[in-house]
Amino acid sequence: MSLDRILDSIDHLLSNLDKSVNDLLWHAKLFIPILAISMALLVIVLISMCITQIYISRKKSEKYRLLEIRNSQDHYIDTEITKQPQPEYTVPEYFQPKRDL
């Protein structure tokens, strides 16, 4: 009699295990597509962030290159100005005394 009871317990456990596995598979069938869509969206966002960073980096390097060119041109203009004779010191107009006093 105890053997029948043990067999019934094992049968009951196996049927519960089968039900649990079926429930787990049903949840997995529901969860896996949601997980796959979430991962795909995450990958799309990361790729777009990388593309944006590359674009910003190229724009900045182009602006810095143009700035360096402009600074080098300003340097040439500055050297031309300094080649001309300059007075030693010039008082700015707003510090000079008024003439109509």
* pLDDT greater at residue 61 or residue 71: 61
Q: What is the pLDDT of residue 48?
A: 97
Count: domains in the chain: 1
Q: What is the pLDDT of residue 54?
A: 94
Considering the domain boundaries, does residue 94 fall inside one? Answer: no
What is this structure's pTM? 0.47
Considering the domain boundaries, does residue 90 fall inside one? Answer: no
| Average pLDDT of the residues of the chain | 81
Rounded to the nearest 5 degrees, what angle is found at the Cα of 72, between the Cα atoms of 70 and 74?
Answer: 70
| DSSP type of residue 92 | -
Domain span holding position 32: 2-81
* pLDDT greater at residue 11 or residue 48: 48
Residue range 8-17: average pLDDT? Answer: 85
Q: What is the pLDDT of residue 64?
A: 85
Distances (CA, A) of 24 to 7, 10, 38, 96: 25, 20, 20, 92
